[in-house]
Amino acid sequence: MSTPETSRFVRLRVDLVLEVDDVDAVTGAALARIADDGDLSAEERAPARDAVAGDTAEALAYLVDPFGLVGDVPGVELQQASWSSERIDYDPDSPEWGLDDDGDEVYGDGFDDASDGDRGDVSGESGR
């Protein structure tokens, strides 16, 4: 009897809820990152600036780097990443924002798994 091979690939899901106390600081940091991004062409910079200037959630999506989460973890290599941000109504006292009985996160969008359904997110891909 042989043991089935286990996959070397692991999907790590992280869901964060952030409170933005200083919209100008977030927007300014995102605009600075765009200005310093040598991989962006002039044609790409203008729409990126417009997006982060008009939406704090988009500015956060531009600033958060999922590669930084695992870049220093020994023995792993990031194969693919995507991330998103969206404005939400959040009530920390609501039971829908707690853990369910299985210990799985229950998301405020009504789904009990971040991959279920269309959440209407603005996603960044691994090419950023």
- The tally of CA atoms less than 13 A away on the side-chain side of residue 80 is 3
Residue 117 to residue 115: CA distance in whole angstroms: 7
pLDDT tens, per residue, the chain with 128 residues? 555 677 889 888 888 889 999 999 999 999 999 999 999 998 999 999 999 999 999 999 889 888 888 888 999 988 888 887 888 888 888 877 765 444 455 444 444 444 333 333 333 433 33
Residue in the structure block whose two tokens are 């299985």: 102
Tallying the residues shown for the chain, one arrives at 128
Contact 67, 81 (CB under 8 A): yes
| DSSP per-residue codes, 67-91 | HHHHTT-TT------EEEE------
CA 30: distance to chain centroid?
A: 15
